[in-house]
Amino acid sequence: MTKQLSEQELEQALEMLAVAINDAGSDKEMLFLSKLCFALANQLGDLEGLEKAIAMVNRDL
């Protein structure tokens, strides 16, 4: 079973991400997000899970 964040943890994560993106600045926002995704994918260590997450995000665009 995959561990998921609680609603409170998701709100905290959103705030952390918003602050970090803002701190990176608009000129480095894309680089920050790319590096963050790469780091999280490596930490996840689950290529199939990553593929599912990418598909889920693409469906929601």
Domain parsing of the chain, residue ranges = 7-59
Percent with pLDDT over 90 in the chain: 95
What band does 1 get if pLDDT is binned at 50, 70 and 90?
Answer: low
CA 42 to chain centre: 12
Is pLDDT of 13 > 70?
A: yes
Q: Are 55 and 46 in contact (CB under 8 A)?
A: no
Residue 35 half-sphere exposure, CB side, CA atoms within 13 Å? 8
Q: Each residue of 16-45: pLDDT tens digit? A: 999 999 999 999 999 999 999 999 999 999
Length of the chain: 61
Q: Binning pLDDT at 50, 70 and 90, where does residue 3 land?
A: confident
